[in-house]
Copies of this chain bind each other. A is one copy, B any other.
Amino acid sequence: MEDGTSMSLGHCGDTDYDVLQWDQREDCEVRQILDRIADKWSLQVIALLDRRSLRFTELRRMIDGVSQRMLTRTLRHLERDGLVSRTVHATVPPRVDYALTPLGGTLHATIRALVTWTEEHQSEIATARAAYDVRVAAEQEEAAAEAAGRDAVARLVLAVRR
């Protein structure tokens, strides 16, 4: 076995509980779910399984670039969290079906809000980035010019002294 977030989960660190916010607590449930959905493959898996249940190899083919190892790991994590169910059919060759659980379905629905937000605001973000990058570039040029100015002065001083 490779890992597993350990069993002693608990309800986050409970120091000054009432003063702190969900996002203040280290390793709380929110963080764990966030880490799960933010990892490279989980979200794609969830989205695909929301349409219909799929076999291992079907998922593997549909998710471009995923390795067997990573797909297995991702599915195990999702299964452990109760977001995805795994049914093994004792046939030859073996057949394993993965499906989204009701719980997983509600999570996917929730995530959609974030997707919608992103779609609605992506142009604002792009604009902000462009503006930021320009600003940074300008500052760098300024700094370079200043440095060049200092050098010029230094050379002048040397020339005069000679």
Contacts and interface: CB of A to CB of B under 8 A. Distances in A.
Nearest to A23: B47
A161 interface: no
- Describe A's contact surface by its main secondary structure: helix
Given A23-B47, A103-B121, A30 B114 contact: yes
Interface stretch (A74-82, A90-98, A145-153): A74-82
Interface residues of A, number: 52
Most buried by B among A64, A106, A113, A125: A125
Nearest to A101: B128
Given A23-B47, A35-B38, A38-B35, A117 B128 contact: no
A128 B26 contact: no
Contact of A43 (B23, B81, B107, B113): B23
Contact of A47 (B24, B80, B110, B130): B24
A131 B133 CA distance: 50
Interface string A112-128: 01110111011011111
Contacts of A23: 43-44, 46-47, 115
Interface of A: 1, 4, 7, 9, 21-24, 26, 29-30, 33-35, 37-38, 43-44, 46-47, 63-65, 79-82, 103, 106-107, 110-111, 113-115, 117-119, 121-122, 124-133, 136, 140
